[in-house]
Structure 1
Amino acid sequence: MQDFSRRPTSPASLEWADRLAATSFFNALLRETSHWWLEDNGSDETAVIPLTASRDISLRLHLKHRSLSGRCRIELPVIRAREDERQAISLEQAVEALLESPWLCEHPLVGRLDEARRDTFFKSVMGSRDTIAAALAGRDDLEHLGHGPLGFLEAEQGLLVGHDFHPAPKSQAPFNAEQARDHTPEHRASFALVWWGVSPARAAGDSSRETAAAAMMHDLLPEALAERLPVGFSALPMHPWQSRFLQGRDDVAAMINAGELIVLGDEGGQHVRRWYPTSSHRSLYCPQAEWMVKGSLSAKLTNSLRVLHSDEVMRGLRLDRWWPDVRPDISEYFHLMQEPAWLGFKNDDGEIDEASLALLRENRIPSPEATSNVLATLTQPLGEPGQTLLANGVRRLAARESLSERDAALEWFDAFCRRVLSPLIRLVVEEGIVLLAHQQNIVVRLEDERPVGVDYRDCQGSGVTDHFLARHPGEHVSQDHRITSDMLKRYFPYYVIVNSTLAVTAALAEADLIEEGVLVSHLRDHLTALRERAGSGDTTLLDHLLDSDTLEVKSNFFCYLSGINESTLDDPARIYLDMPNPLSIPSADD
């Protein structure tokens, strides 16, 4: 079992941070390229990655476990091999060696890899590793994070590793170390919101409720700041880092000097409210507030600049209007955190300045201690192999109810399929509403260690299919909110099945609680049952999941290596690639 008292200042704990960083890095690389092969060592395997065209020099990775989705349990050190020579090297040396390998530039997303891009990538990968190390060093609750149970806020601010398949899952450009401590969830940051006043001529916003967006925002404004807000001005909440960033722009400074924008200040005073960054950094939670606040953050986290876009904020308003018509037996356990209002300001050309945007999201969490845990933290491989928060919860379930660990794992997964996965798929099949739910958007409600429902967040990652439009012929839907059949078959399986559901099967199998093939067999049975009951629904998604030989996955490694900003791609399909569909692979019998 992991000794959680160790800190990254010791050699053993530095190795801990290296292992976590190396796992995400190599998981992504091995998934996205065929320039490697496996050597079977009996109980485990070695991945061999050639560094030269002649294959005489290679990196060797010891894999203690490899899941059906490609999530590996990597054991350090990395070995550099040349003929019969074997040399243990550091993670830094392994990344440097890979960046000198000629085949790395053959990927169509990368092309010619110049020195500047190579250097930026290397620094980002190592910076991500250092972020993990700093988070480990700053926590006094690592044993609790690894074993749980956790409350909502603990789980949100306990995601220390990040994406399972990314070369730099904790990259935080352009935050420096001090800013990271002050503003990031892994450092358990909390702060006061900064409020701005926006003149009527500059204000932009909309609401799907009877109350205007400006009025809804104003209800959140502390009384002391409300006294400073001129009549007719709208109150705009802002992340403190974003507030300083915008004040550094010449055009914004000019609007402030002209009195069109006013920086009212932060929520100071005797009864200051603290806002906590959740696992997404830019979504802020205050236990005492009716709403969460999600705002633009002009920082590149993983693949994209975290700035809200005008078309995205409108999606929440549409979903808020449509949701009352969703079948009650779908929404009974599946709660959508509605986003019914947004606000920002316009530039000199009359266009919305997207860096200023903020939206309100329903706060459905009754208290920070509520046993509602983000899925990414549940499956996070923080401790020694098998010591995920999910696996330890299943072990508690088994002990309390006198079940075998295998039966407890199967019971947990079946409950996940019924209460979390099934509503997401039925929304597509029966309603034509698509929610691209990845691990950081799925907040699992737990009772007695079992999933009993989900609070889903992030209306930006949503769309509707032709099935929805056929059911609502008079409904106006902008082109950016429409999901074609090809888009549905590409994005939904990646986010909901590969990224989320198979993270659950991987975590349970890595812990030796149950064979992954058994879980995938149950998953296939569950999807088959949904298809059989679909009736007049659209089975395009289920047909693809059950019958296709391949599923598409995002190329995080090469997207990041190329420097692409994912959120502004004209054709996001070009950063996706095929992987074998685990649902089509013969599974172990139950």
Structure 2
Amino acid sequence: MATTTDATPLNEVDPAASCFFNALLRETCAWRLDTTGHGELARLPITEGELQLRLQHRSTSGECRFQWPILWFKEGASQAVDFPTALEHILASPALVGPLDATARHTFRERVLESRANTRASLDDRDDLAHLQNGPLTFAEAEQGLLAGHAFHPAPKSRAPFSEAEARAFCPEHRARFGLAWWAVAPPLAAGDSSRDITAADLALEVLPANLATRLPPGFSALPMHPWQAMQLRRQAWVQAQERRGQLLWLGNSAAEWLPTSSHRSLYAPRAPWMVKGSLSARLTNSLRLLSLKEVRRGLHLDRWMRELDMARRFPGFAVMQEPAWLGWLDAKGDVDPASLVVLRENLLLGAAETETVVLATLTQQPLGPGRQTLLAARLRARAQTLGESLPQVARGWFAAFCRHVLTPLFGLAVEDGIVLLAHQQNIVLRLDDGWPVGMFYRDCQGSGVGDRFLERHPQLEHPPENYWARDTQRRYFLYYLLINSTFAVTSALAADGLIDEATLQHDLRDHLNALRERLDGDLDCLDHALQSVQLEAKGNFFCYLSGINEATLTEPARLYLSLDNPLAPAAAAAPATNRYQGAPA
């Protein structure tokens, strides 16, 4: 057996492989953990022998740091193998991934390798990795500095059908910058709504450049759009027919001052009062990224519901980037065309210039180069050196501020108001003062719902809102996003980079949640579940992606979730970590 040439060298990093194996280890129980004289070793059974992964660190939530290369152990001997070879072995091993037909195996393999190649290309394209580690970062730098992607996903940088040239022109990891595409939509086709006193069409005019505004016919609505999406739509026969009829008028592109953020489809211009989030007819990770009418309406509902809440007093430093308007056009049947939809999102950064605003996912993403650490750890090491404080002391202080400015308002809204915001790492934009949390912005109003507490507070409603969630649904989604996806990523990063023992942070987290339980008045079910349940639920991205499911249109997303041991449960400290595989979704 000859050693392959693409094996990741010792002490190197491989973010794409880390994301892949973290997802696989979380979702299958067909591996075992051994402790050797050199540390922990994950053994994965394959048809011919086993693959061995040496672990530099293993978090209580399952996130691992790996020491490369991957080892293939067979007939008493081991050798380094590259990632593509390891992937072939995994996909040929039903014990790990279940039975796969040739088409499913080929499609998954190609998508995973494409994502890995995309990650490598973006790393090779960057000359600012040291800056991304040490900061401070602007909002745009942080958004376009999320190079590794989801830490528990087999292909976090998949982006079909983008070509390489399109990726460089439109993707955040390549620091793309471009102009908004603009249409003029005739009244019979125009669609939109607003929760403000100003119409959606008039709000859109606030970001329409003067040189394009002169081309807008009287009575027509100006519709902004991602330029890649506009190119796809202009190829459609129906759109071409509307252009010939004069119902859709192509106005052109604005100046190249808009930047794609980490979600790709949300666009930001520093001086614009609105960000623009639109549909993308592309499959990014698990979903085809098309907005739906029910999703864009959620933004209007949330904007109205939260006006009566005294957020500034109750939760200083916390705010929601509201999405009070949506626009699009009607299709041939008179229905709103999902591919045309856009929402306008408040650009709250215009009033927050005095603070650094950084998406949490960039702060905690795994190291991007040999000898590097997370941006979060680098910032805290620098602070500890400046202040002459110990690393554990600084880490505990930072985490306490994180809990105060992130967990307190989000649990507060859920418990007292019945408003649930699904705050995963890309929806939490931390406001930092010299690297220290002083507040947060929540974004993505599509990820919002309401519970029983909301219905109690709004007895005038004839019917529950479309995004009403029962208690078991809130437990699943809210705690997965806020605790497992976001908060445990913080504790894992600080522990993996050697600042503090993770058990100390988990203890502090439990104390914070207990204090909230005593302080908050309302529906305490989610808090009780977080503190007492032996298990929580996590989304299974590996088998979701392997199955080719479009998560955005799945009628029962709950089937994507699997049980994980809860490190906050009273007996968690005495129990060994386990993994429970629930199989690929049907």
Shared fold per TM-score greater than 0.5: yes
Structure 2 residue 137 is the aligned partner of structure 1 residue 150:
yes
Structure 2 residue 224 is the aligned partner of structure 1 residue 227:
no
Contact 2:139-2:356 at 8 Å conserved across structures:
yes
Residue 349 of structure 1 is matched in structure 2 by 333
Letter in 2 for 1:548: S
Alpha carbons of structure 1 residues 17 and 301: separation in structure 2 relative to 1, 3 Å: farther
Structure 1 residue runs without a partner (length 5+): 1-9, 107-111
Moved more, 405-414 or 380-389: 380-389
Q: Where does 1:433-472 land on structure 2 (aligned, <5 Å)? A: 433-472=419-458
Alpha carbons of structure 1 residues 191 and 477: separation in structure 2 relative to 1, 3 Å: farther
Residue 379 of structure 1 is matched in structure 2 by 364
Q: Give 3-state SS (helix, strand or coil) of 2:460's partner.
A: coil
Q: Give 3-state SS (helix, strand or coil) of 1:131's partner.
A: helix
Deviation at 1:278, TM superposition (A): 0.5
Q: Where does 1:334-345 land on structure 2 (aligned, <5 Å)? A: 334-345=318-329
Residue 311 of structure 1 is matched in structure 2 by 294
Residues 480-527 of structure 1 show CA distances to partners (whole Å, capped at 9, x for unaligned) of 311110110100111000000000000000011100000000000100
Residues 195-238 of structure 1 show CA distances to partners (whole Å, capped at 9, x for unaligned) of 01111111111000000101111222112211212211110001
Letter in 2 for 1:117: A
Residue 186 of structure 1 is matched in structure 2 by 173
Residue 37 of structure 1 is matched in structure 2 by 32
Distance (Å, rounded) in 1 between the aligned partners of 2:13 and 2:252: 41
Distance (Å, rounded) in 2 between the aligned partners of 1:384 and 1:476: 58
Of 538, 548, 564 in structure 2, the residue corresponding to residue 579 of structure 1 is 564
Contact 2:8-2:68 at 8 Å conserved across structures:
no
Q: Where does 1:423-442 land on structure 2 (aligned, <5 Å)? A: 423-442=409-428
Alpha carbons of structure 1 residues 91 and 436: separation in structure 2 relative to 1, 3 Å: same
Residue 552 of structure 1 is matched in structure 2 by 537
Contact 2:13-2:369 at 8 Å conserved across structures:
no
Structure 1 stretches of at least 4 aligned residues deviating more than 4 Å after TM superposition: 10-18, 367-370, 476-479, 585-588
Contact 2:321-2:347 at 8 Å conserved across structures:
yes
Of 272, 297, 313 in structure 1, the residue corresponding to residue 280 of structure 2 is 297
Contact 1:291-1:363 at 8 Å conserved across structures:
yes
Residues 302-350 of structure 1 show CA distances to partners (whole Å, capped at 9, x for unaligned) of 0001111100001111111111222433342211001000000011111
Residue 72 of structure 2 is matched in structure 1 by 80
Alpha carbons of structure 1 residues 331 and 339: separation in structure 2 relative to 1, 3 Å: farther
Residue 577 of structure 2 is matched in structure 1 by none
Normalised by the length of structure 1, the TM-score is: 0.93
Distance (Å, rounded) in 2 between the aligned partners of 1:138 and 1:303: 25
Q: Give 3-state SS (helix, strand or coil) of 1:365's partner.
A: helix
Of 550, 562, 584 in structure 2, the residue corresponding to residue 565 of structure 1 is 550
Alpha carbons of structure 1 residues 558 and 12: separation in structure 2 relative to 1, 3 Å: closer
Deviation at 1:172, TM superposition (A): 1.1
Normalised by the length of structure 2, the TM-score is: 0.93
Contact 2:11-2:68 at 8 Å conserved across structures:
no
Residue 342 of structure 2 is matched in structure 1 by 358
Deviation at 1:11, TM superposition (A): 7.8
Contact 1:69-1:502 at 8 Å conserved across structures:
yes
Residue 45 of structure 2 is matched in structure 1 by 50
Q: Give 3-state SS (helix, strand or coil) of 1:39's partner.
A: strand
Distance (Å, rounded) in 2 between the aligned partners of 1:517 and 1:384: 27
Residue 401 of structure 2 is matched in structure 1 by 415
Alpha carbons of structure 1 residues 193 and 320: separation in structure 2 relative to 1, 3 Å: same
Deviation at 1:476, TM superposition (A): 5.9
Letter in 1 for 2:448: S
Deviation at 1:86, TM superposition (A): 1.0
Residue 582 of structure 2 is matched in structure 1 by none
Distance (Å, rounded) in 2 between the aligned partners of 1:224 and 1:13: 52
Deviation at 1:400, TM superposition (A): 2.1
Moved more, 379-388 or 312-321: 379-388
Alpha carbons of structure 1 residues 42 and 105: separation in structure 2 relative to 1, 3 Å: closer
Distance (Å, rounded) in 2 between the aligned partners of 1:225 and 1:386: 46
Q: Give 3-state SS (helix, strand or coil) of 1:45's partner.
A: strand
Cα RMSD for the two superposed structures: 1.9
Residue 3 of structure 1 is matched in structure 2 by none
Residues 342-395 of structure 1 show CA distances to partners (whole Å, capped at 9, x for unaligned) of 000011111110010011000011388951100000001124466100001111
Moved more, 213-222 or 562-571: 213-222
Contact 1:151-1:370 at 8 Å conserved across structures:
no
Contact 2:206-2:273 at 8 Å conserved across structures:
no
Residue 333 of structure 1 is matched in structure 2 by 317
Residue 125 of structure 1 is matched in structure 2 by 112
Alpha carbons of structure 1 residues 314 and 472: separation in structure 2 relative to 1, 3 Å: same
Contact 2:41-2:52 at 8 Å conserved across structures:
yes
Letter in 1 for 2:536: L
Number of residue pairs matched by the alignment: 566
Q: Where does 1:505-524 land on structure 2 (aligned, <5 Å)? A: 505-524=491-510
Contact 2:7-2:82 at 8 Å conserved across structures:
no
Distance (Å, rounded) in 2 between the aligned partners of 1:336 and 1:167: 31
Residue 22 of structure 1 is matched in structure 2 by 17
Deviation at 1:75, TM superposition (A): 1.4
Alpha carbons of structure 1 residues 385 and 238: separation in structure 2 relative to 1, 3 Å: same
Alpha carbons of structure 1 residues 574 and 11: separation in structure 2 relative to 1, 3 Å: closer
Alpha carbons of structure 1 residues 16 and 342: separation in structure 2 relative to 1, 3 Å: farther
